[in-house]
Amino acid sequence: MHITRRRFVAGSIGAAGMAGIGLGPRVAHAQIDLGNVRLDVVSDGALALPGSFVFDPMPKDELQAVLAAQGISPEVLTPPCNVTLMRSGDRTVLFDVGSGPDFAATAGTLGASLDALGVAPEEVTDVVFTHGHPDHLWGLLDDFGDPLFAGARYMMGRAEWDYWLNPATVDQIGEARVAFAVGAERRLRMIEEDMTLFDDGDEVLPGVLARATSGHTPGHMALEVRDGTESVMILGDCIGNHHVAFARPDWLSGSDQDQELAATTRVALLDQLAHEQTRIIGFHLPQGFGRVEKTADAYRFVPGVD
């Protein structure tokens, strides 16, 4: 496996939004060559979240020590948004599509990052969704509300699709996430005829295997890209940050819809990834890619190239 780190190209985040939350230019991409497969980690900007969105269920005294050790503010989080682009043979594949213009002022820069690589939206042949949250799905539409990747076919885990298209979801998801449900259904209905559903263990594309990682959302999927004995796991949000998720993976997180299931998933997956030394691409991890290292009592994220 050959990995290069390139200068990150600034996206069109917007000066006002960046100044308002103290964000500088965000990453544009790093590149991983896996046999005949090329993976680019490209930026869709960043989010600005209240710390309570993640930290509310956690024990406050212990949490403070974990955050302080890594210089993380308990008040505001500014996680990057990292979309994975795969090019293999005649396929140009996106794993998730970012936020688009309607979710966050500091995100929605995927178009600029793809343009920096010379990839036009109409050249995308396949889009594989890890899950249906806005920062992963809402970039499906352009500024005029039309599908941006007009020539693509789409893939999503069956349980995830069923969840967002279930009429009961909007009433059950909780007041803070109602817009998530409404926005997901609207967008998914627009591509329904071009959607292929998959299940745990399916080979969704040649060399790309689905891995059920439920909890963050009911049907969340990670995708493992494999060439011979080498592999990279595209995590989506099943491991959602580089601090508490690694140091205390068993703690419940407010960002997860089924918090207990998500914690169980996270613990098992981190153990596997550390044991097998599988490279990972995380949607909200610094630099986007790295690996998991076992520590005396938990795990830590090792970013980038060794």
Domains and CATH numbers, the chain: 2-303 (3.60.15.10)
Residue 143's pLDDT is 87
Give the torsion sign (CA, 258, 96, 47, 73). Answer: positive
157-202 pLDDT, tens digit per residue, is 999 999 999 999 999 999 999 999 999 999 999 999 999 999 999 9
Q: Over the Cα atoms of the chain, what is R_g?
A: 18
- Is the confidence at residue 223, as pLDDT, over 60? yes
Residue 29's pLDDT is 63
29-84 pLDDT, tens digit per residue, is 688 999 889 999 999 999 999 999 999 999 999 999 999 999 999 999 999 999 99
Query: In this structure, which amino acid lies at residue 1?
Result: M
User: Measuring CA to CA, which residue among 10, 14, 6 is closest to residue 41?
Assistant: 6
- 11 versus 152: the higher-pLDDT residue is 152
Give the distance from CA 253 to its chain's centroid.
Answer: 16
Residue 305's pLDDT is 60
Residue 10's pLDDT is 32
The number of residues in the chain equals 306
244's CB contacts (< 8 A; 6+ apart) are: 54, 55, 58, 63, 66, 67, 251, 253
Burial 248-284 (b: 16+ CB within 10 A, else e): bbebbbbbbbbbebbbebbeebbeebbeeebbbbbbb
Percent of the chain with pLDDT over 70: 90
Residue 14's pLDDT is 35
Residue 16's pLDDT is 32
pTM of the predicted model, to two decimals? Answer: 0.91
Residue 291's pLDDT is 96
- Is the confidence at residue 17, as pLDDT, over 50? no
92-146 pLDDT, tens digit per residue, is 999 999 999 999 999 999 999 999 999 999 999 999 999 999 999 999 999 889 9
Residue 50, token pair as written in the block: 């209240």
Between the CA atoms of 190, 193, 194 and 198, what dihedral angle is there, to the nearest 10 degrees? Answer: 110
The whole-angstrom separation of Cα 304 and Cα 126 is 26
CB 138 within 8 A of CB 187: yes
Averaged confidence pLDDT in the chain: 90
273-304 pLDDT, tens digit per residue, is 999 999 999 999 998 999 999 999 999 999 98
DSSP run (H or E) holding 37: strand 37-46
Residue 13's pLDDT is 32
Q: What are phi and psi of 189, to 5 degrees?
A: -60, -30
Residue 198's CB is within 10 A of a number of other CB atoms, namely 21
The whole-angstrom separation of Cα 132 and Cα 164 is 7
Distances (CA, A) of 96 to 62, 133, 163: 34, 10, 17
